[in-house]
A = this chain, B = another copy of it.
């Protein structure tokens, strides 16, 4: 693992910070849902663990991890989507007015 990863960490964190700062409270919940769906990225690790076939134990654990992560991702995104549908009705109004 190289020092470059530290830069990536710093930069990514900064991006995360800048992106989120000042969000209307209304969006807090969906945003939470979304970020946590992204947190499902741990799936990537799980896949490797489950697929590396180093040894039974690791594979089993990996398998469980995959199940957990996947269900989170799938569920999470669907849920967020449902929540955000609520804005759909109005989407155009402000959009059109925005310009």
Using CB atoms and an 8 Å cutoff, list the residues of chain A in contact with chain B.
Answer: 2, 4-5, 7-8, 11-12, 14-15, 18-19
Question: What is the total number of copies of this protein in its complex?
Answer: 2
Our pick among B2, B5, B15 for the contact of A15 (Cβ within 8 Å) is: B15
Q: In the complex, A4 Cα to B3 Cα: how many Å?
A: 10
Give Cα A52 to B56, complex, Å: 53
| Secondary structure type dominating chain A contacts | helix
| A–B pairs, 16, beta carbons within 8 Å | A2-B2, A2-B4, A4-B4, A4-B5, A4-B8, A7-B8, A8-B8, A8-B11, A11-B11, A11-B12, A11-B15, A14-B15, A15-B15, A15-B18, A18-B18, A18-B19
